[in-house]
Amino acid sequence: MTTAIVSGTFDPITVGHTDLIARAAKIFGRVIVAVSKNTEKQNMFSEKARFESVKAAFEGQKNVKVVLLKGLLAELVKKHNGVLVRGVRGTGDYDYETDLALINAELEGVETVFIPARPEYSFISSTFVRDMVIYRRPIEKYVPQAALEVLKDEIGNR
């Protein structure tokens, strides 16, 4: 059984992310969700909150494991003899993700599989959700309920 690795900052995790991960779990049988720190981003939510919210979103799903990424993603994928799975919402995502796939292939020989977003999720991004939080708009349609429960304190402090 091949292990799929899905990574992201998940700031916050969205229903688009959970759909992608659930679909990957059906295809590959086992998914490791790697919550990462992007050095180019200023996160809205703490690392602990992001990690715990992703764990909560997949509570009880035995074929999905959530980890904190320490080090290079390509090294994690190689360690598990897995494939990297990335979601793409459109051509902009595809172009960006293709560059990353080439880098990961060069670094560790990692293969990347792209899964297109379902149309109903294609406009949802963590950036969109963060903007909704900043402007005090409801986000219940865009973030899994279990994750919202974990994030509510940090949302309330905004």
Residues carrying an active site annotation: 17, 41, 89, 126
4's tokens: 């799929």
* DSSP β-bridge partners for residue 7: 34
26's tokens: 């059906």
Closest alpha carbon to 38 in 127, 123, 121: 127
Say which amino acid occupies 128. Answer: F
Tell me the C-alpha distance between 32 and 5, whole Å. 5
